[in-house]
A and B are shown apart, each in its own frame.
Chain A
Amino acid sequence: MLMTALIMIGIGVFAGIAGAILGLGGGVIVTPILTLAFGLNIKYAIGASIIVVIATSSGSTIAYLKDEVLNLRVAMFLEIATTIGAVSGALLTGILNPKFLYVLFGLLLIFSGFNMIKKLRNHQGAVQKVHPDKMAEKLELNSSYYDKASKKTVNYQVENVPGGLAVMFGAGLASGLLGIGSGAFKVIAMDTFMKMPLKPSSATSNLMMGVTAAASATVYFFNGSILPQIAVPLALGILVGAVLGSRIMQRLPAKWIRIVFIPIILYLGINMALQGFGVKL
């Protein structure tokens, strides 16, 4: 009992750091470990992972808020799409074939991974050129943040709000269906579609994951999928890891975040697409 608990806390700290740095919920790290290494039923792994997502989100937003990297308006506006997506996902669980979604999202992830490589080659870490966007102006989504790595304030504008909303709906759908935070999709929506810089994208994604995950977490809570002996030590480890991770993250240059992010996105994409075709890596 004590040994398992200590291992869970350790996994939590690791997943928390990795999750906060990459803007991922940690669910994609925890679910494979619990199922493959501990032989836990996928139902309980997903239940634990949704708690992990909330702990990562709540743990790291504390750090982000203090440094004002986060864009609260973008978060709340896009949250309309993710929460509706999550509710739809929860309702659709019994009807849709999840294989179809796996393939679809796998392909989207692979596409985005290559898109990020292209960006890395062209202009590294710089603020992207954005066309003035009426909708973004009306919704007051443009903002600025203080970059600790380059030690200056970066002003940014966003564009393609409908595109971002559409991807966010998909992210919410995946979250509701698969019990993940789908942080990667949220970063894609902001970074690739809306041309928001990577750091506020990651920070905003972190906050949004918590809200989206809360929608499906209660369902898992009341149907008994959340095992306290696993979820509690994991969550406590995550809280520590997430706070550490967000501190580290702000001191990393954007280029390095991207370099770490690309292989993960590609791996997840290939993994998800293959799972859709019935192949498990």
Chain B
Amino acid sequence: MKPEEQNPKVAKEMDDIELIIGKILRIGVIISAIIMIIGFLLLIITGKSGYANNYHPTSFSEIFSGIAQMKPYAIMMLGIFCLILTPVLRVVVSIYSFYKEHDYLYVYITSFVLIVLIFSFFL
């Protein structure tokens, strides 16, 4: 199939899919922004990070136990982690949209990108 001969219906479907991707991504960004704002406001209001000597939590166990105690730095780190995941979310949603379009070449291409990304998380 030559792209310049693409029929309007396919083009419209693609537009719809991109719009849905945009909305999902926006929700992801808003959620991470809200988490960051909560942690940030708590830091400004209480003036305490929840940790001694400017330390900040970097592992999931530290972050989640810190959140249970409402420690501002722990909440802020969770917000940052959610923000890091938004581009990954976009890749995942793109795989689904290409699949729905029956564009299997791009399902493979995008899945490969996701695999590389997951691999990099364990480096």
Q: Residues on A close to B: CB < 8 A? A: 1-2, 5, 51, 54-55, 57-59, 61-62, 65-66, 68, 70, 72-73, 76-77, 79-80, 83-84, 86-87, 90-91, 137, 139-143, 155, 207, 210-211, 213-219, 221-224, 226-229, 231-233, 235-236, 239
Contacts and interface: CB of A to CB of B under 8 A. Distances in A.
B2 interface: yes
A222 B59 contact: yes
Contact of A137 (B2, B26, B120): B2
Given A65-B21, A68-B15, A235-B36, A221 B3 contact: no
Given A1-B47, A62-B22, A224 B58 contact: yes
B6 to A, nearest CB: 8
Contacts of A84: 116
B44 A2 contact: yes
Contact of A54 (B15, B83, B94, B106): B83
Interface of B: 1-4, 14-15, 18-19, 21-22, 25-26, 28-29, 33, 36-37, 39-40, 43-44, 47, 49, 56, 58-59, 73, 76-77, 79-81, 83-88, 90-91, 94, 103, 105-106, 109-110, 112-113, 116-117, 119-121, 123
Nearest to A57: B87
A140 B25 contact: no
A51 B83 contact: yes
Task: Among A58, A73, A91, A143, find the residue whose CB has the most chain B CB atoms closer than 10 A.
Answer: A58
Nearest to B120: A215
Contacts of B40: 5, 232-233, 236
Contacts of A139: 105
| Interface of chain B: mostly helix, strand, loop or mixed | helix
Across the A-B interface, give the 6 residue pairs with the lowest CB-CB distance, nearest first. A65-B22, A210-B87, A228-B76, A215-B120, A83-B116, A214-B87
Contacts of A57: 87
B36 A214 contact: no
B56 A227 contact: yes
23 contacts: A51-B80, A54-B84, A57-B87, A58-B86, A72-B14, A73-B106, A76-B109, A77-B106, A79-B113, A90-B123, A140-B3, A143-B3, A210-B86, A211-B88, A214-B87, A218-B84, A221-B81, A223-B58, A227-B56, A232-B79, A235-B36, A236-B40, A239-B33
Contacts of B43: 1, 229
A231 B90 contact: no
B18 A137 contact: no
Contacts of B49: 228-229
A160 to B, nearest CB: 17
Contact of A232 (B4, B39, B90): B39
B44 A5 contact: yes
Contacts of B21: 65, 72
Contacts of A215: 116-117, 120-121
